[in-house]
Structure 1
Amino acid sequence: MTGPLVLPPPPLLPGHPPLTRAALFLDFDGTLVEIAPRPDAVAVPPDLPPLLHALARCLGGALAVVSGRPLGDLDHFLPVPIAKAGDHGAAIRPDPEAPPEVPDLPSPPPRWRVQAADLAARHPGALIEDKAHGFVLHYRLAPDAAAEAKALMSELVSEAPAHFTLLEARMAWEIRPRGPSKGGAVRRLMARPPFAGRVPVFIGDDVTDEEGMEAARDLGGHGFRLQDAFGTPAALRDWLSAARRGMTGRKEAPAG
């Protein structure tokens, strides 16, 4: 069994120009921060928001957090003016000072959520995470619910397959509208300043990030799976800190 790929010290990337010419796209849960038992229990290191803000300035604004979480969640956990894409690309905000861009999307029938909530109630520890146009059934704290959760969520989506799709995440199933994706968010952001003309680099940890990685590669850049390239979110944060030092020549202040 091999260990993580050791990337060159920032600001270099394999086979490409310095990181100063990159457009950096970063997943949140499981990538920038460790996966938590519950979505609201995530622990954000206090130095992460200012690090991302500083790194975004070094990149001329070409840094975006691309997450399955709603933009409101990202703003809560990362209260800094950087570009963000939430709900798997359904809502993007390239300009931190402007309103988000949100397409007109369908919402699943309320009955679907009721059925998922009934399942969660039968399995202590399972929970529902609501989103603007869908919901997630988490069973990390109720692993015995895995098979039943998959069967129910698959059955629900089969009632309207032209409008909704089922997304598998880490011990969770999410119903979301067809169309938006993290890959689409990358493409939309890369079509406009300050991302346009740069080398896209997407870093994520989950199957939900594969579309973002693929889009970055299709556009001549890189898609890195966290576990292969870095190993842990802490190692990625260290790499980002080194990138920031490499581009500014300043030393990071001690944490705490």
Structure 2
Amino acid sequence: MDQKSDQTTGSLQALDGLPGDVNGLAVFLDIDGTLLDIADTPDGISVPLGLPAALARLAARLGGALALVTGRSVATVDRLFPGLSVVINGLHGAEWRDGAGRVFGTGLTDEFSAAKHRLREQAARWPGVIFEDKGAAFAAHYRLAPASEGQVRHLMRALSESVGDGWKLQEGKAVVELRPRGRDKGDALMQTMGHEAFAGRLPLAIGDDVTDEAMFAAANRLGGLSVRVGTDRRDTLAQGRVATPADVRAWIERVAR
């Protein structure tokens, strides 16, 4: 077996080495690149058949201690997983929905709305650049237009300066986003761990992108576990690694039985 296969198998064995019924864990899952395969456009993702039901079973096994932590909005997550009653930390934690369905979010300003409108108009003039409206955040995706990366970054920096201190730039995989300041996925994990279903458990954080590093750090500080999805050798705070979202989905199927 080659080195890459050894690393992947070892990570899966580490996950399998968790309590078989996942008692004592609180699970925090990123969505894009972790639960779902990355797509060329934000709307191009596909939710595999059976995944929502598997997540519901996992939530039941965990006594409700399952949270989705994502850069997408709560409303978008609800469209992806209709009827799934779990905690959702949207917009990197700036939006939060509890298990009872109550949503807490960030207010908008005129300056922010104007910046969003400007990006929407400019992105339409750049072939392949995708504008994504997340409500209290917005993003420009250049996966299909890598030559436009410099222009996208320049405009997003200018828009960030125009909206004031309430928002900050966040870079990801071929995307630049303007999102509410003062919250990250680590903050989201720490806040959620204080709620009844999560209290007294050890966090397991699974993610794939630079935005998930704050979540890994928080899980590690609490004595929990952190697992990164991906085969590149980028430095990470995660303790373990799996190769693909398919590995994460297979693990969910096993532990949710």
**Which interval holds the TM-score relative to the shorter structure?**
0.7 to 0.9
Matched, 1:199 2:202: yes
Q: Secondary structure of the equivalent of 2:256? A: helix
1:240 Cα deviation after fit: 1.4
Picking from 7, 11, 21, the partner of 2:12 is 7
1:163 Cα deviation after fit: 2.3
| TM-score, reference length from structure 2 | 0.86
Aligned residues: 242
1:91 corresponding residue in structure 2: 95
| TM-score, reference length from structure 1 | 0.86
Matched, 1:239 2:251: yes
In the alignment, the residues of structure 1 paired with residue 119 and residue 162 of structure 2 have an alpha-carbon distance, to the nearest angstrom, of 15
Q: Secondary structure of the equivalent of 1:150? A: helix
Q: Secondary structure of the equivalent of 1:129? A: strand
Picking from 22, 25, 32, the partner of 1:22 is 25
Conservation of the 8 A alpha-carbon contact between 2:95 and 2:106: yes
1:92 Cα deviation after fit: 1.3
1:125 corresponding residue in structure 2: 128
Taking a change above 3 Å as real, the CA distance of residues 102 and 164 of structure 1, as seen in their structure-2 partners, is: closer
1:114 Cα deviation after fit: 3.5
Q: Secondary structure of the equivalent of 1:146? A: helix
Q: Where in structure 2 are there 5+ consecutive unaligned residues?
A: 232-240
Aligned-partner residue type, residue 92 of structure 2: H
2:222 corresponding residue in structure 1: 219
Taking a change above 3 Å as real, the CA distance of residues 55 and 107 of structure 1, as seen in their structure-2 partners, is: farther
Using the TM superposition, name which of 26-35 and 121-130 deviates more: 121-130
2:170 corresponding residue in structure 1: 167
In the alignment, the residues of structure 1 paired with residue 155 and residue 56 of structure 2 have an alpha-carbon distance, to the nearest angstrom, of 41
Q: Secondary structure of the equivalent of 1:109? A: helix
1:214 Cα deviation after fit: 1.2
Q: Secondary structure of the equivalent of 1:19? A: coil
Aligned-partner residue type, residue 84 of structure 1: I
1:69 Cα deviation after fit: 0.7
Conservation of the 8 A alpha-carbon contact between 1:106 and 1:163: no
Q: Secondary structure of the equivalent of 1:151? A: helix
Conservation of the 8 A alpha-carbon contact between 2:112 and 2:163: no
1:208 corresponding residue in structure 2: 211
1:153 corresponding residue in structure 2: 156
Structure 1 vs Structure 2 CA RMSD: 2.1
Q: Where in structure 1 are there 5+ consecutive unaligned residues?
A: 246-256
Q: Secondary structure of the equivalent of 1:140? A: coil
Aligned-partner residue type, residue 13 of structure 2: P
